[in-house]
Homo-oligomer: A and B are copies of this chain.
């Protein structure tokens, strides 16, 4: 089973192909690499697993250069970005070259940002090999790196020309990474798709067991939901911000723990539960819905609290550099129901404080 989601962004329109075993399909890559130089960015974990499967699919390129970066969020830095830029010029990649990201969200974000800026923009193709990257990073064109002071604070909007999501590559994924990706999948149900949330409650086990059909269904549905929001608001002036459900809390956790201790999806799970609890505290979200959300994450062995060593004060400080801050005011995505997320600066600061105090792991 292979399916295609079209992301309809006018002259930046692109297809996302989803299916088991499609990483080696030459016909999917040919339109983007024929007679051009391909610069593949991957990491030390993914390279030995999938480079040999991808390589024949790039047979139409006039040249292929492989650049391997270290694995992990802590390498998503301006330093790695600079290394990539210098490698692109050393390999004499011209403006008609194409950057291919083979790996998870970190590889996609940094390779995409490199492609966005090299010669002020070259083409970019994504081959995401984690569930999180397949359902999230591959849609919407957000690229970037972290600063010591905050996550994803430097970057660009740069849409890929094509995404090839091979669900079979998830078989080698650390189960912890699968669960982390699951958190981002659940997010789409919570934002505006309550039927999908129901489906996820029913199919969580199949999904976490990497059942091919369940995976393809979930990846396609998540991409469609995200695409709808991105197409409505490419530069995030409005509804697109809803995709950040749980992320203001999550970024604070990731920055506060120094990047790498928590997986992004794990922080998102805890962040979503904190947003849900705060929504419940403000009497926006029913207690039983709050519990359904928490229960689904607990079933997937995902964290539902902030780490014990991050005080509420430190969390608030870290949240204040969020990209959604306007005129000094923090804005949060909260829930009025399952499938009904809202962006608001009209929240009760005491509810936030109380949620952070109650929402830490036991020390």
Chain A contact residues, CB within 8 Å of chain B: 35-36, 78-79, 81-82, 85-86, 89-90, 92, 94-96, 116-121, 142, 144, 147-150, 153-157, 235, 320-321, 323-328
Contacts and interface: CB of A to CB of B under 8 A. Distances in A.
A321 B92 contact: yes
Contacts of A320: 92
Contact of A85 (B90, B142, B147, B235): B147
Contacts of A325: 94-95
Given A78-B85, A92-B320, A147-B85, A116 B156 contact: yes
A327 B89 CA distance: 15
Contacts of A144: 117, 120
Nearest to A96: B326
B117 A86 contact: no
A96 B35 CA distance: 42
A306 B144 CA distance: 39
Leading 10 A-B pairs by shortest Cβ distance: A89-B149, A94-B325, A78-B82, A120-B155, A119-B323, A117-B154, A85-B154, A96-B326, A89-B147, A95-B323
Contact of A95 (B79, B89, B326): B326
Given A82-B78, A154-B85, A323-B95, A149 B328 contact: no
Contacts of A94: 323, 325-328
B116 A153 contact: no
B35 A321 contact: no
Given A95-B323, A325-B95, A86 B149 contact: yes
A144 B156 CA distance: 13
Contact of A156 (B96, B120, B323, B328): B120
A153 B118 contact: yes
Nearest to A119: B323
B327 A147 contact: no
Contacts of A157: 120-121
